[in-house]
Structure 1
Amino acid sequence: MEIKKFEFNPFPENTYIVWDKDTKEGIIIDAGCYYTDEKKSLSGYIQNKGINIKHLLATHLHLDHNFGSPYISKYLNIPLEASQKDEFLLSGMKEQASMFGMQLPDEPIPIGHYIDEGSEFRIGKYTIRTIAVPGHSPGSLVYYSPEAQVAFVGDVLFQGSIGRTDLPGGSYTQLVTGIKEKLFSLPNDTIVFSGHGPETTIGYEKENNPYLT
């Protein structure tokens, strides 16, 4: 599995392109590109590598993870795929941006395909399984590949930390329970790719994360 991480927008947020190098089939997870040069960087990389993007996936619908969803959806003619439980966040995205003194680069687009616990995607020889771990947002999703032993967790889990739970629909109890029951059941050497910051592993977080030990 090939993985390219971009760090986009003022927050800053991790956007991932994930693909099979043999078939060139791929996905984008959390298109956070905000500035014009960031959009060009993302689309240019896809074009230069010849990646056939099959899905535009969101781990959740907070604005910093979706600034670029309208652009990528139009550029590649593919729908935004996310949990219906986060759909309410789309209507408040403009107001949320204004609270940070920002304007949205494009009008938010609706979810084109609902996904949740148990949804699966194929990119070449890799399976991408969807795990629902609410708490940071009601519809927070994790995308896990058992073959590659990687998990893209959005803002559910970070190196030494967890996602904030004081935003609309958040729940500390839900988040911690979901991480312990669902993510900590994955193999210890599973590499965790978070929505912000560096990579970690399931085993490291089991032993060292102060919110979860």
Structure 2
Amino acid sequence: MLVVGFPAGAFHANCYVLALGSGGECVIVDPGEGALAPVTEAIGQHRLTPAAVLATHGHVDHIHSAAELADGHGIPVWIKREDRPLLSDPAKGIGPELASAVSGSGLPLDLREPAEVGEFDDLGPLDDTGDVELAVAGLRIRVCHTPGHTPGSVVFRLRTAEGASLAFTGDTLFAGSVGRSDLPGGDVRELARSLRTTLWPLADDTVVLPGHGASTTIGTEKVSNPYFGAGGAGNGGSNE
């Protein structure tokens, strides 16, 4: 599997380009501010054809380039229904004080919804977990609802042809920390539940590709992350 990841923009939000290999279709995960140029470079270098944009959640540092990329390639943006309003009104997700600071830094918040939006909610559940599966670009991506950072936060899980397990955790779990729950729509109890029920049970060798910072593994976080325990404590964490 081909995974190209890089931090983009002033917020250093991680964007990922996923494909079975060079010369085929790909998906783009979390194209935030400043992601357009490096995504374009990656798909050109590997001769890829974008098939979809996937959002782990609707915060502006993860979706700022979503509409431009999706509409430019004629592809959909997939997002959880609860976070869909943030595609066109990202200020709702960060509150007036932070929105004012972001706008003052020069990052526009007057976004538009992409021409085509898919809601993960419209996909049939795989089992009693409520997880759904998105089949796109030859990939089978398990979408797990992990509210707490935002109401519509999700984690993307998939297994590579080589046998590795990957989890794209957005701002739910980082190396050494977890996502904040004090922004509009955040909920510390929901975050704790998401960590406990969705991420803690994963195999220790699952590679975590987070929304900010370095990659890690579930096993590493179990022993070193003070916010990630068997109880799924989400009582602190990053400012992301």
The percent of aligned pairs where both chains have the same amino acid is: 35
- The reply to whether residue 84 of structure 1 matches residue 81 of structure 2 is yes
The alpha carbon displacement at 1:48 in A equals: 2.6
How many Å separate the matches in 2 of 1:58 and 1:157? 15
Whether the aligned pair in 1 keeps the contact of 2:89 and 2:110 (CA below 8 Å) is no
How many Å separate the matches in 2 of 1:88 and 1:156? 19
Q: TM-score, normalised by structure 1?
A: 0.89
Please, what is the CA RMSD of the aligned residues?
Answer: 2.0
Aligned partner letter, 2:111: E
- The reply to whether residue 162 of structure 1 matches residue 178 of structure 2 is yes
Residue in 2 that maps onto 1:176: 192
Whether the aligned pair in 2 keeps the contact of 1:70 and 1:106 (CA below 8 Å) is no
The one of 62, 66, 73 equivalent to 1:65 is 62
**1:23-62 pair list within 5 angstroms:** 24-34=24-34, 38-62=35-59
How many Å separate the matches in 2 of 1:76 and 1:82? 17
How many Å separate the matches in 2 of 1:30 and 1:67? 9
Q: SS in structure 2 opposite 1:142?
A: strand
How many Å separate the matches in 2 of 1:204 and 1:90? 33
Residue in 2 that maps onto 1:120: 134
Q: TM-score, normalised by structure 2?
A: 0.80
Residues 157-207 of structure 1 deviation map (CA, whole Å, 9 limit, x = unaligned): 001110000011111111111111111222110000000000010111112
Whether the aligned pair in 1 keeps the contact of 2:52 and 2:136 (CA below 8 Å) is no
- The reply to whether residue 187 of structure 1 matches residue 203 of structure 2 is yes
Residue in 1 that maps onto 2:101: 99
Residues 41-86 of structure 1 deviation map (CA, whole Å, 9 limit, x = unaligned): 3213212311122210000000000111121012211121100111
Residues 107-144 of structure 1 deviation map (CA, whole Å, 9 limit, x = unaligned): 331561101431322433x4211011000000001110
Q: SS in structure 2 opposite 1:59?
A: coil
- The reply to whether residue 2 of structure 1 matches residue 18 of structure 2 is no
Residue in 1 that maps onto 2:238: none
Q: 1:23 to 1:54 in 2, by over 3 A?
A: same
How many Å separate the matches in 2 of 1:53 and 1:81? 13
The alpha carbon displacement at 1:209 in A equals: 1.3
The alpha carbon displacement at 1:24 in A equals: 1.9
Aligned partner letter, 1:115: F
The alpha carbon displacement at 1:91 in A equals: 4.7
Residue in 2 that maps onto 1:198: 214
Unpaired segments ≥5 residues, structure 1:
none
Aligned partner letter, 1:86: D
Aligned partner letter, 1:119: E
